[in-house]
Structure 1
Amino acid sequence: MASLAGVIATAAALQNVSAFAHNAESGWIYPPACCHGDPTTGECGTIPSITVTPQADGYVIILRPGDHQKVTHQNRYFVPYDSVIPSGDDNFHICLHPTEEHENCFFAPSEAM
């Protein structure tokens, strides 16, 4: 009976994590600290590589409506290189939270880092 309780506790913990994180289109899971919603309303999403420009000290990202599910008007973000998280696939991803004006996490493919 003790093992059943452990299975139930583990399932409940996984359910709580999945309530706050979701998968990228390619299947890897965004870190829960970055994503605060489900795949439809989540803050994280793949963005076109053309929206990302490397500069001397970090990336400049300019997103327009259609580049990310949360973006309703043009936004500019700057992410220092030491804040970039390796992407779980070959794409750039950004998490916007609490609003579209705030970059929470930015992921870059390994060949771009």
Structure 2
Amino acid sequence: MRGIFLVPALLGLSTTAFAHDAPSGWKYPNSCCSNLDCRQVTQTAISERPQGYIIRATGEVLPYTDGRVRISPDGFYHWCSAAGEEHSKTICLFVPPRAY
């Protein structure tokens, strides 16, 4: 009987952000994240070229018009990849608003 109360009590103590939350607090959309796929990345992890955004880890090119490219609510790059792996296919890419 004692174990029944332990689980809810432990769940209530957690203050850690869920994996589907960006560090700044906004929530990654369910269509991009399965609680482990998305993370904030440095500006050097993504480069902008005439053909689109280049994911350095994979070499993928996402054209600017690609539906996976979305505006980042906090102005930082966020990359969602299959199973959250460094070298897997892009699910979504959140980018800062473009100045031009």
Q: Distance in 2 between matches of 1:112 and 1:53?
A: 15
Specify the code of the residue in structure 1 equivalent to 2:93. F
Alpha carbons of structure 1 residues 76 and 59: separation in structure 2 relative to 1, 3 Å: same
**TM-score, with normalisation over the residues of structure 2?**
0.69
List gaps (5 residues or longer) in structure 2.
1-17
List gaps (5 residues or longer) in structure 1.
1-18, 64-74
Classify the secondary structure of the residue corresponding to 1:81. coil
Indicate yes or no: 2:92 matched with 1:109.
Answer: no
Classify the secondary structure of the residue corresponding to 2:22. coil
**TM-score, with normalisation over the residues of structure 1?**
0.62
Instruction: Point out the structure with the larger helix share.
Output: 1
Aligned length: 79
Q: Distance in 1 between matches of 2:22 and 2:84?
A: 19
Which one scores higher on RCO, CA 8 angstroms, separation ≥ 6?
A: 2
The within-5 A match list for 1:22-61 is 22-37=20-35, 42-61=36-55
Q: Distance in 2 between matches of 1:79 and 1:60?
A: 6
Q: Distance in 1 between matches of 2:92 and 2:60?
A: 11
* RMSD of aligned alpha carbons: 2.1
Which portions of structure 1, spanning 4 or more consecutive aligned residues, are displaced by more than 2 angstroms?
Answer: none
Q: Percent identity?
A: 33
